[in-house]
Amino acid sequence: MVKINIELCKDCRYCVKFCPKQILKTGTVRNSRGHFYPAMTDADKCITCAICATMCPEGAIEVMKGDEAV
């Protein structure tokens, strides 16, 4: 499971670009700072590689495998 703290997102789109499964897309809703934040298109395809979390410069993404953070 991927948790996104949408208020921290600054719409850099690194997570969208580097997800190997291409399942993160820039959404159409802005956060309170005016930035579009990503949305997951197909959670079943997530391999919990945590590349999205590693690439996010804002620390806005947390990847969980069961109850544990990856």
Residue choice 3, 14, 32, 67 for contact with ligand SF4 (CB under 6 A): 14
Instruction: Show the site string, 31-60: x = touches ligand SF4 by CB under 6 A, - = not.
Output: ------xx-------xxxxxxx--xx-x-x
Residue 31: CA count within 13 A, CB half-sphere: 16
Query: Looking up tokens 């690194």, which residue turns up?
Result: 14
* Amino acid found at 31: N
Residue choice 13, 31, 62, 64 for contact with ligand SF4 (CB under 6 A): 13
DSSP 8-state class, residue 2: E
Residue 70: CA count within 13 A, CB half-sphere: 18
Residues lying near ligand SF4 in the complex (CB under 6 A) are found at 2, 4, 9-15, 19-21, 23-24, 37-38, 46-52, 55-56, 58, 60-61, 63
